[in-house]
């Protein structure tokens, strides 16, 4: 696993990776956000929903841990062998958002 010399270096790496990731969606019109391409596993909307879902889960784990609570992973109501259903919940929760949001 890569290590970083400082907190600032980590933040910079995250910002660069985030900008590259978001740039991939910059040219996709809203009308194609749910378009499925045979060679790609997820639609643009599903891809972003997947990322938002995991990001929010990680943040919730951190919040719960800081409050002294037991963290239920991967998420309440889901087991690790039910990730497909968890991803579907991500798509339902975040998939209706605009690509421009």
**How many domains does the chain divide into?**
1
Supply the range of the domain harboring residue 73.
7-94
Q: How many alpha carbons lie under 13 Å from residue 57 in its C-beta half-sphere? A: 20
Neighbours of 90 (CB within 10 A): 20
pTM for the whole structure: 0.85
Confidence of residue 101 (pLDDT cuts 50, 70, 90): low
Can you spell out the DSSP letters for 35-49?
---TT-SS-HHHHHH
88-20-59-76 Cα dihedral, nearest 10 degrees: 10
* pLDDT tens profile 83-94: 999 999 999 999
CATH number, domain at 43? 1.20.120.450
1 in a structural domain? no
User: What percent of the chain has a predicted confidence (pLDDT) above 70?
Assistant: 99
99 in a structural domain? no
Residue closest to 90 by CA, chosen among 32, 47, 38: 47
67 in a structural domain? yes
Output the pLDDT for position 99: 85
* pLDDT tens profile 21-41: 999 999 999 999 999 999 999
84 in a structural domain? yes
- The average pLDDT across 14-26 equals 94
């Amino acid at each position: 696993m890569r290590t970083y010399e400082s907190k600032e270096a980590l933040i910079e790496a995250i910002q660069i990776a985030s900008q590259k990731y978001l740039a991939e969606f910059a040219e996709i019109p809203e009308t194609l956000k749910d378009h499925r391409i045979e060679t790609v596993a997820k639609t643009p909307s599903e891809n972003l929903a997947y990322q938002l879902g995991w990001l929010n889960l990680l943040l919730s784990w951190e919040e719960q841990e800081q409050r002294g609570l037991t963290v239920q992973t991967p998420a309440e109501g889901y087991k690790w062998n039910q990730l497909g259903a968890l991803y579907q919940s991500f798509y339902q929760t975040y998939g209706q958002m605009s690509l421009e949001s």
